[in-house]
Structure 1
Amino acid sequence: MKAFVINKYGKKEKMQLSDAAKPTIKDTEILVEIHATALNLLDSKIKNGEFKLLLPYKTPLVLGHDLAGVIVETGRKVTKFKAGDEVYARPADFRIGTFAEFIAFDQADAALKPKNISMEEAASIPLVGLTVWQAFFEKAHLKKGQKVFIQAGSGGVGTFAIQLAKHLGLEVATTTSSKNHELVQSLGADVIIDYKTQHFENILKDYDYVLNSQDKKTLLKSITILKSGGQLVSISGPPTPLSAKELGLSWVMKFVFGMISSKVRKKAKQQHVDYSFLFMKANGAQLEEITKLIEAGIIKPIVDKVYPFEHAQQALEYVESGRAKGKVVLKIK
C-alpha cells in the first residue's frame, strides 16, 4: 500500500510517499480502507519531536490520527462491525497511521460514520470531537448558563467546541481574526474578540471555564479571566504530575512534568482556579454520541480544504501556517 512516512524526527523533516506493508489484524481489530483522513497540529508536533517524552514512536513512522473509510476485514472476535461498514475513528496512540491507504486498529476505537455527511467531513471529526467531548464532560463540571472562553474559535477544535458549548446552553467567548468573525458568529459565539487588535484579558472577566489550545503566555493570561473556583483545561500543555500518573508514566516523568508546569499551577492556585491538562484518548463509544449530534444537525463539520492524497506534505504545511478555518482533509480514495 501507499503511505506517507517520516524517517526521522525534525522540524525540517518532510513526509515521503512510500510503499509500506499492508497491515494485518488481530482478533479484536478491524482492517479499514481509508477514504479520507484529516491533518492536525499533533501530527506536526510528533514529526518535530515535541512529543517524544509522551509518545516515543520509533521511525520510520506513518503519521495521521483521523480516518473515515470502509471495513474490508474483521478479526474473529470482532462483534461491533462487519466488512462493508462505513466507519470513522481516531485510532489509539501507537496504532496511528492514517496517512495511508489501509490501517488496522481495535474495534473499540471506531464508530459507524454519520449517515448525513461525506467521508471527507467525517474524517474531520474524530480527534477534535473527542478532544472537546473529553474536555467538557470528563474534565469539566459545566452547567447551563455558565460562561466559557474557547480560544481560536475558527480552528478545528474551536469550531467544534463552540457548537457543542451552545448545545449545552453555555455563553461562549472566543478569539479569531476579523476575517473569520462571521464564521464563529454563525456557529453561535456570543463574544468575539479580534486577537490582532484586542486583548481578551482586558475584556473578559469572571468566566467559569477556559479551553486553552494556545501557548503558555496565553494560558497564563487566561487564568486571570476566571472567577474563583473556575476551571482551565489545556490541550496544549504543560502536563502536570497528575498527567504523568494518569498516563502511567514513571516518577521521573512525574518530576519533569512538575517542573515544567510549576509556574502555571502556582498562578492557578493563587487565583483559586483548577488547572488540568488533557491528553485525549481514543474512544469509539464517545464517537457514537458525537454521531447522534451530527445526525441531528447539532454539530456540523467545518472543512477548510480537501487535498489529494499525493499533496499530504503541502496540506500539513498549510495546517502549520495557522490559517485553516476548521479542518484540513486528505482525500485518499
Structure 2
Amino acid sequence: MRAWVYSKAGKSLASALTLSKTARRPPSPLPADKLLVRVTHMSPNPADHKVPEIGQLASLALTRSFTASPGMDYAGVVEEVGAKINNTTTSRNAVSYKPGDKVFGKVESTPFGTLGEYIQPFPNGCVPLPPSVSPASASTLGTAAQTAYQTLIPYITPGAGDEVFVNGGSGGVGTFAIQIAAKVLGCVVTTSCSSRNTSLCSSLGAATVLDYATTDIASALRARGQVFKLVVDCVGGSPADLYTAANDYLLPSGTFVQIGGDFSPSALCATASRAMWPGFLGGGKRAYKFLVMETRRDDLVQLAQWMAEGKIEAVIDGDVYPFEEAPKVFEKLQTKRTRGNLVVKVSD
C-alpha cells in the first residue's frame, strides 16, 4: 500500500517522513475482532509528531515497530469485517458492518497509522459516517472533538448557564470545546486566542474573547471574580500561575482541566507543580485534572450526531492537503499556529 513512514523522527517528524508505494499492509488474515478500513481522509494531532520526536524508544514502545506510519484519526470505507464484529453489542445499540460502509474514528498507537491507505481499527473506535457529514469533517472528530467532549461533559450541567474559560480557543480542541460548551451545553464561554482568530472564536459561540498578546489573561480572569465553573487549558505550556490564579476566578466547586502540553522539562515541571504543589504552600486550591483521553464509541456517536444536526462543525485550516504533501501538515502543526484542524486526503 501507499504510506508515509518513518523510522527515526529526530527533532522533526516532517523531515523524517518518506513516501513508500510498497509499504507493508496490516496483518492478513484479518483478526476476528477488527475491521479492515481503507482510509480516505486523516487529521493529524500534536501527539502524532510529539511522541516520535521524543526518541526512537518512545515510538518503539507505542508502535512496537522500528518503522511506522503516524496518525490516529480517520474517515474511510470498510473493506473487510472481522468474524466476531457483527456479534458485538455496544452499550448504545448493535451495529452491523459490511464492506462499502463509510466510517470514521480513531485507531490506537500502531505501526499502521492513518497516514497509510489501510488500517485495522477495533469497533469501539469505528463509527458509521452520517450521510450529511463529509469524510473530511468526520476525520477531525476522533481526537480533537472527543478530547473537548471529555473535558466538558463530566463537569457541566447542561442548560444551567455555567461559565467556562477555554485557554487557547482557536486550535483543534479549542474550536470544538467552544462549540460544545456554548451551542450544546448552553454555557457562557470566555476564551483566549491571538487577534487574527478573534472573529473565528466569536463565530463559534464565545461570548468574550481575550487576545493573549495584549492582555494579561490571569489578571483579566481575576477581575471577573469567582464565576467560572470550568477551565479547559488547551495550551498546557502556559505559565503555572494561570492555575494558581484560578483561586480567584474559579468557583470553589470548579475544576481546572489541562490537556496536552509539551514534553520539555519546563512544561513537565509546570504540570507536576499544578498537580502536586499544595495550596497552603502557594499552589492552586481548586480541583485539578490532567485529561488522558479515552476512545469511547458512544462519545463518537454523539459527536457525529451533533455534527449531522449542525450543532458543531469542523474548522479546517485551509484546503484539504493532497496525500503527496502530507509532511507539510506536520510542519504547520509544529508551528502551533493552526486554526482548528488540518486534514489530508489519503485516497479516493
- Shift, 1:54, TM fit: 11
Q: Does the CA-based 8 Å contact 2:315-2:341 persist in structure 1?
A: yes
Q: Deviations over 1:34-69 (max 9, x none)?
A: 100011111121121279399643421211011001
Map residues 42-53 of structure 1 onto 2, 5 A cutoff. Answer: 42-49=47-54, 52=58
Aligned equivalent of 1:233: 257
Measured at CA, do residues 93 and 7 of structure 1 come closer, stay the same or move farther in structure 2, by a change above 3 Å? closer
Aligned counterparts of 1:173 and 1:32: Cα–Cα separation in 2: 39
Aligned equivalent of 1:245: none
Aligned equivalent of 2:31: 26
Aligned equivalent of 2:3: 3
Q: Does the CA-based 8 Å contact 2:181-2:187 persist in structure 1?
A: yes
Q: Percent identity?
A: 30
Name the SS of the counterpart of 2:239 in structure 1: helix
Name the SS of the counterpart of 1:33 in structure 2: strand
User: Which structure carries more strand by proportion?
Assistant: 1
Deviates more, 1:211-220 or 1:124-133: 211-220
Aligned equivalent of 1:39: 44
Aligned equivalent of 1:284: 297
- Shift, 1:321, TM fit: 1.2
Measured at CA, do residues 268 and 234 of structure 1 come closer, stay the same or move farther in structure 2, by a change above 3 Å? farther
Name the SS of the counterpart of 1:328 in structure 2: coil
Aligned equivalent of 1:243: none
- Shift, 1:223, TM fit: 3.9
Aligned counterparts of 2:112 and 2:289: Cα–Cα separation in 1: 25
TM-score normalised per structure 2: 0.83
Aligned equivalent of 1:175: 192
Aligned equivalent of 1:110: 126
Q: Does the CA-based 8 Å contact 1:223-1:267 persist in structure 2?
A: no
Q: Deviations over 1:290-315 (max 9, x none)?
A: 11111111011111131101111111
**Residue ranges of structure 2 left out of the alignment (5+ in a row):** 87-94
Name the SS of the counterpart of 2:253 in structure 1: strand
- Shift, 1:82, TM fit: 1.3
Aligned equivalent of 1:316: 330
Q: Deviations over 1:187-214 (max 9, x none)?
A: 1001100111111111113222111121
Name the SS of the counterpart of 2:85 in structure 1: coil
- Shift, 1:109, TM fit: 1.1
The amino acid that maps onto 2:315 is I
Aligned equivalent of 2:340: 326
Aligned equivalent of 2:18: 16
Aligned equivalent of 2:70: 63
- Shift, 1:156, TM fit: 0.7
Aligned counterparts of 2:60 and 2:36: Cα–Cα separation in 1: 26
- Shift, 1:228, TM fit: 2.4
Aligned equivalent of 1:250: none
Measured at CA, do residues 275 and 52 of structure 1 come closer, stay the same or move farther in structure 2, by a change above 3 Å? farther
TM-score normalised per structure 1: 0.87
Deviates more, 1:46-55 or 1:213-222: 46-55
- Shift, 1:326, TM fit: 0.8
Name the SS of the counterpart of 1:275 in structure 2: strand
Aligned counterparts of 2:278 and 2:230: Cα–Cα separation in 1: 13
Measured at CA, do residues 260 and 55 of structure 1 come closer, stay the same or move farther in structure 2, by a change above 3 Å? farther
Aligned equivalent of 1:252: none
Name the SS of the counterpart of 1:121 in structure 2: helix
The amino acid that maps onto 1:294 is M
- Shift, 1:183, TM fit: 0.8
The amino acid that maps onto 1:184 is C
The amino acid that maps onto 1:118 is S
Aligned counterparts of 2:311 and 2:278: Cα–Cα separation in 1: 34
Aligned equivalent of 1:164: 180
Residue 209 of structure 1 pairs with residue 223 of structure 2: no
Q: Does the CA-based 8 Å contact 2:156-2:185 persist in structure 1?
A: no
Aligned equivalent of 2:153: 137
Aligned counterparts of 2:60 and 2:25: Cα–Cα separation in 1: 27
Q: Does the CA-based 8 Å contact 1:114-1:122 persist in structure 2?
A: no
- Shift, 1:117, TM fit: 2.2
The amino acid that maps onto 1:215 is G
Aligned counterparts of 1:187 and 1:217: Cα–Cα separation in 2: 23
Measured at CA, do residues 62 and 159 of structure 1 come closer, stay the same or move farther in structure 2, by a change above 3 Å? same
Name the SS of the counterpart of 1:52 in structure 2: helix
Aligned counterparts of 1:330 and 1:266: Cα–Cα separation in 2: 40
Residue 75 of structure 1 pairs with residue 82 of structure 2: yes
Aligned counterparts of 2:165 and 2:130: Cα–Cα separation in 1: 28
Aligned counterparts of 2:180 and 2:17: Cα–Cα separation in 1: 34
- Shift, 1:261, TM fit: 4.7
Deviates more, 1:9-18 or 1:111-120: 9-18
**Residue ranges of structure 1 left out of the alignment (5+ in a row):** 240-257
The amino acid that maps onto 2:310 is G
Q: Deviations over 1:223-247 (max 9, x none)?
A: 41323232111112599xxxxxxxx
Name the SS of the counterpart of 1:62 in structure 2: coil
Name the SS of the counterpart of 2:200 in structure 1: helix
Name the SS of the counterpart of 1:287 in structure 2: helix
CA RMSD of aligned residues (A): 2.4
